[in-house]
Structure formats: structure tokens, C-alpha cells
A and B are shown apart, each in its own frame.
Chain A
Amino acid sequence: MKLLVNFSKGKNNAPIIAQVVKDTGILISVERAVIDSSEGEALIEVPDDQCKLIRTSMTRLGATVRLLEHGINLNASECVDCGACISICPREVFSFDADWKLAIAEDRCILCGKCVDACPHQALTLPL
């Protein structure tokens, strides 16, 4: 499952992700992160059955944690199945099915938004 973790530094600059990995022993994979001097946002992937534990541990350390249920959003009435997005995506979310229809592997999406500008038909949007 994917979690979006927002944290602000200040509380002793505590390393939240590292702390949770150490406390729980659960391996967290960071798929995308933007961190500057005062705050940060990280998109992490965690095992489904331990999602709840990680969420509560991180919240206790002062982070805001949100479960990401959806990947990139495709407006099927705007999409013409051209495939401009296919080679742009760093996670290979997009592909053609046997009938040359655009297929989306939503669970691979890390919401980086690179495809949004690349779509000539403005059919892709980030959820929120």
C-alpha cells in the first residue's frame, strides 16, 4: 500500500522514517520524496498487513499520513489511446492492451505527474 507522509522539521529534527523502520522492524520503500530545510513529503510503499502499524507509529512522531488509494486519474472520454504517456512514465504505468487500448497499472503509479503535461488531450490528472 502507498502512504503519503508529510512532516515538518523542528521537533529535534527527528528522523521519522528511520525511527519507524527501527521501532517496527518493517522495511519501508521510499518511492518519491521532496525534503527541504523546514518540511518534507514522502511517498512510501509498505506491506498491506502492516500499514496500520506504520501509520500510527508515524502519526505518533508528528507526521501526517494519508493512504493513497488511487493513482493517476484518466478521463476516458478525453483519452484517444494515442500512447504519448507510455514512454514518459518512469514507472511503466501505461501500456497498450491487445486492441491498442491504453491500459493503466494504477498500483505502480507514484503520482509524480510527469504524464500530465505530456498528454495532448489533457486526459490525465492527479487525484486530490
Chain B
Amino acid sequence: MSFNIHKTIFSFMHKSIDQINERIRDGNARVVTAEEMPAIVRELGEEGALEEVDVVTTGTFGAMCSSGAFLNFGHSEPPIRMERIWLNDVEAYGGLAAVDTYIGATQQSDTLEEKYGGAHVLEDLVSGKSVELRATSRGTDCYPRRTITTELLLENLNQAIMCNPRNAYQRYNAATNTTDRLLHTYMGTLLPNTGNITYSGAGVLNPISNDPEFRLIGSGVPIFLCGAQGMVIGEGTQHSPGGGFGTLMVTGNLKDMSPEYLRAATMTGYGVTLYVGLGVPLPVLDLDVVRATAMRDEDISVDLIDYGVPSRNRPLVRSVTYAELRSGMVEINGEQVRTSSLSSFRRARRVAEELKSWIGRGGMQLALPTRPIDATKKVHQMHESKKGPRVMDIMDRQVVSVGESEEIRTAAQKLLKGETNHLPVIGSDGRLVGIVTTFDVSKAVANPGKACTVSDIMKKKVVTTTTDEAVDIAVRKLEQNNISALPVVDRERHVIGMLTAINLGKLFGGRWLK
């Protein structure tokens, strides 16, 4: 394939999809990966690159939780209308009538919990392993059977259609943890005290980042999905390209997939997820496509977020580019912090290379979207008509406290009189300085030593809550610290209430749990 032939055929500033498909059919198309494109544009210039390159392939391989597959088992004799369905003890959706189901990747096994889930069922099927189907039904005149248990291979299914509601995120925020506690998150293991950074995404190879205006990616566009030829259905759930977070809903035939590009995984302490290999070929129609695909890791910024804050609005630590993240080190407040990728760049590259070879040997034709994807919309948060319970709703407003310079004996009397096991300790300025429990007081009495005032025996590190904190967050604080009470403080650390295990009982009494 010589450069001159290109020049004579494409001596204008636009190529049609038909011209590109013709070149693919003839085996003459010049296909490159999105990783190779920036250097080509640098060398040939934008117009030169437009003449030279026909297709740019993209690829990504990472955790895509929102994935799953529709399965059809065929009818049994006597027939059954499955209402509850399990595959290797992983529950699948039973609301699709008779013998259809949808198995979701993150659903966990009833018996093995986070060690095995829907993603593992999919990987086992694709790897040729047999999977046990178990289903129950109430039985009807037309479907009399009530239970079924059978071993199935992928080839025994009529259809096995992967359909992933939210894949191929355009980019993803990086994560760190400023608390003093090790965190297990969907962003992997986060070491305490900003000990590491995790991130996900293929950067330069990411499909949507190479077409952020959605000129080429839309409904009906052929893609690489886990080793099979799949298709874009349309925008994915939570699609938010206006903020740089576009997603795709995609489909493909599970029977054509390869375990090389479809892998079950478990994020310890978080749960099961599916690693999906996905690539989109982009036809180089005009200079806008050339410019978009010339994008580099340096050009994609994401927010580095503190996952130590268990809220939707997690604080921003700083902005980072994929180039920085992939260098292995990112500077935070003057310190070099090591990074870990959760997605595999090596496998993303393999996706783009495999797609390149499919197209290069004429094995895949390209298409433009039959319906476009909105490139501007933004996701909005959940509309909550009822607020969940807050600490102020259930806390004890009668606070029995003790001064730090009072005698231990006084603390003991207060504990008895107040019928409580926890006494917040107040300093001379009226602010919280510590906490003593019946255990601390008993210990001081049993082993009389030098201790005589409350400040000698109190715990100075007090875990606290605030009136507007969600009860679920306060409960996690109790569990994680293995304690049974939290002083409720205001901004000046005045104690305005106490939250104890007894208060939590109110939740079960009525108005919050229905």
C-alpha cells in the first residue's frame, strides 16, 4: 500500500463511510490504533493523517460493574414458568416469563458471597464450564412444573446475549484516602494517610475520549465486545458527557466471546465485578476525526477524589492527567504518592490491536450511527422524596457529662445515676476533651494506682458525630471503631447529644422502617 495511491483517491478533505468500507473489503484500508495516532498526526500533519489513515481503533479493559446477559434455556418437559432462578447459586432475574432470565455481573452467590457472582457465571459459561440452573415456580395450568435443576453448557442455551447497561466510561475519577484507616472500595484497596492512588481507564485508547462529540459512536455502530463482534445500543445509563463522563450501552453474542477479554473479579470488601474488553473502530472521515483521535494521555484530566469521605460529594484533592497517573507517581502536597491502575492497559492495547487486525483483513465493516447519542446531557442525582433518618432524629438530648478535673468517684456516681455507660468529658472551656466508660471507671477502681481525676483515665481520642449526619454513617463509625456510643457535637465541639445503640432501637420502632 503506497502513500501515492492514497493521495490520488483521497485528494480532498472528506472521506465517506462507503469509501472506507470499500477499502476494508479490498484489504487496502490503513488501520492504526488510537495510541499510534498522535505520532502519525505529528509526523504527517492533520491533512496528511487524513489522507493516510482510514480507521483508528480504540480499546479498554477494565471493571465494568453494570454488565450482564439475557439467557434463554428452552422449555423443559413438563414445562415450567420460572419465577425464581439461580445459576450456580447466584440469583438471576425471574420476571421475564417462562424460560428467560437476565444474570447481572455483580449479583453475589447465596453461598459463596463475594467469592463468586454473576460475573463468574458468565466467565464459566464462556470458558466452556457447566453451570447449574435451579429454578422454582408456583405451577400453573399451562406450566405445571414447580422445580427444576439441571447442568447447562453455553451451547445448550438458545440465546446468550450480553447486554451491558453502562460500559466504557469516557474517563473515571482517581481515588485516594486521607483517613487513618485502610479502605476497601470499588476503586480497590486504598491505603491510609494518602498512602496510594488508584485509577481506571485506558486514557489514550479510550473509545469515547477519541470521539467526545459522539460524531461516530452511536446506535448500531459495530464494536469489539469481549472478543465478539458486538454493537452499540445507544447511550449508557448515567451517561453524562456534559461533564466528561459519557457511557455506552452495548450488546454482543456471549457464545462468540473469549475468556481472554471477559474476566470475573472480586474487589475485596466491596464485591464482585466483571472485567470487560471493549473497543470501537472509528472511521477517519474528516479533519475533526483526525484532531479528536490525536488526543494523548496528557490531554485527559480527571479529579483525584478523597474516598475517605463516605458521601456522594467527596472532596477533590487535585486534578490529574492520565499521563501523570500512568507514570506511576503523582505528587500530593509535595509528596510523591504511588499509583495503581485497576484496568489493564496491556489488555486494552490487545483489544485495539485485535480490532485492527479484524478490519485490516476485511473481517469487519464499519457503520455510522443510525441514531445519534446526546453529547451534552448531564446526569442528575436521585430525587429523594423522603429523607433518611439523621442523627438528630434519634439522638438522646439529655446529656450526662463530667468535668475533666472531677474525681473518678464522681464519674462513677454519674454513670450510676444517669443509667448510662458513657460519659463525655468536658474541659474548662465547655468543649469535649474525652470520654469515659463504665469499663474505664471499673478498671481504675479494680487497679487503684496514681489515677485520681477523670482526665487520668479518659480516652482522649473521641469518635464523634453531628446532628445532620445520616444514621447509616454513624452506625458504620460505631461498627468500625467497635464502640457503642458517639457524642453528638456542634461546630465548637460542645456536646449537644449522645447517640447510643439504644437510640438505634428507635429505628425499628416505627417511622423510619416500614
Contact = CB atoms under 8 A, between A and B. Distances in A.
Interface in A70-128: 80-88, 95-96, 99-101, 117-118, 120-122
A120 B265 contact: yes
Given A88-B196, A120-B267, A120-B273, A82 B344 contact: yes
A81 B347 contact: yes
A95 B329 CA distance: 12
A83 B347 contact: no
Query: Closest 3 interchain pairs by CB?
Result: A87-B196, A87-B338, A120-B265
B349 interface: yes
Q: Would you call the interface of chain A mostly helix, strand, loop, or mixed?
A: loop
B328 A120 contact: no
Given A100-B344, A121-B265, 10 more contacts: A81-B345, A81-B347, A83-B344, A84-B188, A84-B198, A86-B339, A87-B198, A87-B338, A88-B191, A118-B340
Interface of A: 80-88, 95-96, 99-101, 117-118, 120-122
A80 B196 contact: no
Given A118-B188, A118-B189, A120-B63, A87 B344 contact: no
B188 A120 contact: yes
For chain B, the bracket of interface size reads 20 to 34
Contact of A83 (B191, B263, B265, B340): B340
A120 B342 contact: yes
B503 to A, nearest CB: 34
A80 B275 CA distance: 9
A60 to B, nearest CB: 40
Given A88-B189, A120-B267, A82 B341 contact: yes
Contact of A85 (B268, B340, B345): B340
Given A82-B342, A82-B343, A87 B197 contact: yes
Nearest to B115: A122
Contacts of A83: 340-342, 344
Contacts of B339: 86-87
A122 B266 contact: yes
B102 interface: no
A80 to B, nearest CB: 5
A88 B340 contact: yes
Contacts of B184: 117
A120 B115 CA distance: 11
A80 B347 contact: yes
